[in-house]
Structure formats: C-alpha cells, structure tokens
Amino acid sequence: MTRSATTRSTWDELAIHATGDGPGVLWLHGYTMRAQVWEPLWALLPGWRHLGLDLPWHGESRDLRAGEELGALADTVVQHLSAQGVNHVVALSFGTVLAAEMAIRHPGAVASWVLAAPALADMPHEPAVAQRYRDLATMYAARGPGPHLSQLWLSTPPAIFAGVNARPAVRERMRALIGQHSWRELSGDGMRPLVARPQRASELALVAGRLDVIVGERDLLTHRACARSLEVEAGARVHRIPDGGHLPLIEEPVVAAELIAGLLASSLSR
C-alpha cells in the first residue's frame, strides 16, 4: 500500500500531522507519545483524512500555558475541528481525557467518539501506576531529562507497557518514539491543570454522536472499570480486543483498524 505524504500545520501552536483523503478523523495519543504513533493504523485505514494532534508538551507542540486548563484546551481543539470539517475523534489513554472534555463541553461537536483504554480526569490509578508517576517526578528532579526516564517509564511492572513489551517489533518502535519525549511536563505543575476538574462518566450521557469504547482484555483494572462506567452511565458501546493490554490500538493495529473502520463507517450511516 502506498502511504500518503504527511503534512504539518498548527492549531494555536499545537502541531497537527495530516495524511490521506476523505472524511476527517482527529487522533489523540497517550502520555509521552506523539502523532507519529498512529502511522501504522493510518496505513491500514485508507479513505480517511487522518489528523494527529501532538498534545501540549509532546512532539512538536507548545507547553500548556500558564493558567490554561483542560476546558480551554478542549474548546480550542473543538473550534479547529469545526473549521476543518473534522467529524470523528479517536483517542487513546491520556488522550481520552481531552476527548472526554471535548465531548462534555461540546456534545454535538462530532458524529463519533472512540475512546480506547479510557481514562477520566481524577480517576484512581492502581497503586503501582501511581508510584511510577511519583518515581518519574523524583528521577527528573534528581537527574533531569534523559533516556533514564524513558527506560523507567517503559519498564514493567506495572503493566502499562506489558502488551507493548510482549511484541518485539512494537516494543522497538515505541522505545524510539518515547525516547524523543522531552519530559519537560515534569517541571512545575506540569500536567496537573489537565486533571484539576474531576470528570464523571455520567457527563458523557448527553453526547449526541456515537460513543464507542475500546479496551484490551488485559488492560489495567482501573481502565477496564472506566470502560464499564462509560457503558453503564453514558450508554457507550464497549468493544474488547482479545489479548490486548493497556495500549490495544498500538499492540494490535490490524485488529484495531478493522474494528475502527467499522465504527467510523457506522457513524457515517447515521
């Protein structure tokens, strides 16, 4: 398959990487990643215009501004979605926090939302995961940025990257991508303003578009619980990827692409 050229633009100094032709889909990556993480999936999903956003502090995007909170960031992204005619959103892990805020504040913004390994702001983490975040902050304070942080972040346990590490080709690609992360969000307040206001699954019950959740059968317990909450309280349709871990769209791109293709096609027919 011939891969379309990728172009780069910005939305309010947030980097956008776009490729393909057709209806527009915005992709929101997880923590420490960047838009290029989606390229294997994009290659498997022709017929769509894929736009990958580098989140603040990530890839080629700016830092979060002083006083900027999640709601303001969500408003900015939705404004550009409308201007660009983008009508679908796919998000993974921490990217689902931004997607959820967009959906809560603008429930009619797009025709479909796909939240994979879902997270909501201020949701509890498993103790080992919470400790990993503390260890990253401690290491950054003591040694500054560098490959030692990526090595710690990618190690298991906890099981954040267990599915990635079990697949050698995926593991090497993710090591290269996350190895480019600057870690500058570990200085000062960092990501805390993005999770200052707790989100609740029930807040997504008013979403006008289709709401789907994808979760790996081996995902972390808290993310599986979040998926269940979205199913019960917001009416989301939950789809499980067998043998998938916390990052099922990255771990199993062929399976994920087939599933997402069907979800996107279904939203077009509504």
Phi, psi (deg, nearest 5) at residue 53 = -95, 130
Using one digit for the tens of pLDDT, what is the confidence trace for 120-175? 999 999 999 999 999 999 999 999 999 999 999 999 999 999 999 999 999 999 99
Contact 49, 23 (CB under 8 A): yes
Using one digit for the tens of pLDDT, what is the confidence trace for 248-269? 999 999 999 999 999 999 988 6
Contact 95, 29 (CB under 8 A): yes
Q: What is the mean pLDDT of residues 184-204?
A: 92
Amino acid (1-letter code) at residue 128 = A
| Chain centre to alpha carbon of residue 172 | 20
Contact 28, 98 (CB under 8 A): yes
Share of the chain above pLDDT 70, in %: 98
Residue 2 buriedness (CB in 10 A; 0-12 / 13-18 / 19+): exposed
Q: What is the mean pLDDT of residues 26-45?
A: 98
| Chain centre to alpha carbon of residue 244 | 16
Share of the chain above pLDDT 90, in %: 91
114: which strand partners? 90, 212
Region 7-124+190-268: CATH code: 3.40.50.1820
What the block records as the tokens of 189 is 């307040």
CA atoms of 55 and 73, how far apart (whole Å): 10
